[in-house]
Structure 1
Amino acid sequence: MKINDSVFGELEYDYVWSRNITIDFCGTETNIALMVDGDEDGEFSDKQYASYNSLIENWGHLQQYILQPILDYYKQKRFELGYDISHNENYPLIDNIDDLLKNIKLVGIFVPSARRFEGRYIGLTFDCRWDEENGVGIRLIDEEVTRIGYQDVAL
């Protein structure tokens, strides 16, 4: 089933509404999945529209703002696993944003149903070289990073 939404564009339903979009991420045009939580009726809430529109309006700033929390998360994960002491090729020393950008790739934006959280909620998912199975997820509420972890924290 497909719909053409005035904000999200042409979406296809397969348990979640989605489409592929191209977005600039830190100077690179990136193909990602836009996923919008909703029932088969294709009705979305004002909060979902506000969340997505705010993300797009603030994307230039937000994409830079989220990089430091990802870097901090990586450093903490590397420390917890002991790879700051013993070498592991999957967890190389990444100590700056440029190195981080070589090891992550934005793969998705998730707009959950409005009833799940207060405020404007957006989830961002990334593939990363150090954990190909779980990736990295970020939860933004009102454009603030509120949680970071595996990709499932974004959903």
Structure 2
Amino acid sequence: MINDSIFGEIEYDYIWSRNSKINFLNKEVDIMLIIAGEDDGKFEGGQYEAYQVLINYWNSIQKTLLKPILDYYKERRKELGYDIEFNEYYPEINSTKELLNYITLVGIKVPYANIYGGRSIGISFDCTWDEENGVGVRLNNEQVIEVGYQDIAI
């Protein structure tokens, strides 16, 4: 365990992590903060920068996550044919406000710096429609560049 000046008190068990709390759309939620790194506890400057920018602009960044997740959900629902045939796990969701009833923020991942050519962050959600895979959002320079299963955020 180390106490990093930016990431706080983190523990190494093949990954650096800590349980944390964050405000997500006016609700405090418990998340897992995960930081890519070797067991020596030395992190790259770009990792610190990506995390600090995320935290500093979290109030505006979090609002940009919902529309891409809703678009992803609608696409998956259509691919599976549930826009035509009823499926209780894939109900019709028409707004980002409705979407909040089906997703839960569970993690933030800080990958190695410049892995995607900028400040990279992964955001993980549990979701009711796919409990096994969840939903992951990949940010690059604070912009959503990909939405998919949770593993894209790791």
Q: TM-score, normalised by structure 2?
A: 0.98
Residue 65 of structure 1 aligns with an amino acid whose one-letter code is T
**After the TM superposition, which residues 83-122 of structure 1 pair with which residues of structure 2 at under 5 Å, given as runs?**
83-122=82-121
Residue of structure 1 equivalent to 2:129: 130
Residue of structure 2 equivalent to 1:50: 49
Deviation of 1:116 after TM superposition, in Å, equals 2.2
Residue of structure 1 equivalent to 2:10: 11
- Give the Cα–Cα distance (whole angstroms) in 2 for the partners of residues 99 and 82 of structure 1: 21
Deviation of 1:139 after TM superposition, in Å, equals 0.5
Unaligned runs of 5+ in 1: none
- Give the Cα–Cα distance (whole angstroms) in 2 for the partners of residues 90 and 154 of structure 1: 23
Deviation of 1:115 after TM superposition, in Å, equals 5.0
Deviation of 1:97 after TM superposition, in Å, equals 1.1
Unaligned runs of 5+ in 2: none
Query: Could you list the per-position Cα deviations for residues 57-115 of structure 1 after superposition, in whole angstroms to 9, with x for gaps in the alignment?
Result: 11001111110000000000000000000000000011101110000000000001125
Deviation of 1:18 after TM superposition, in Å, equals 0.2
Residue 40 of structure 1 aligns with an amino acid whose one-letter code is D
- Give the Cα–Cα distance (whole angstroms) in 2 for the partners of residues 100 and 49 of structure 1: 31
Residue of structure 1 equivalent to 2:59: 60
What secondary structure is seen at the aligned counterpart in 2 of 1:54?
A: helix
In the alignment, structure 1 residue 72 sits paired with structure 2 residue 66: no
Following TM superposition, the consecutive aligned residue runs of length 4 or more in structure 1 with deviations greater than 6 angstroms are none
- Native 8 Å contact 2:16 2:37 kept in 1: yes
Root mean square deviation, CA, Å? 0.7
Deviation of 1:117 after TM superposition, in Å, equals 2.4
Q: How many residues align?
A: 154
Q: TM-score, normalised by structure 1?
A: 0.98
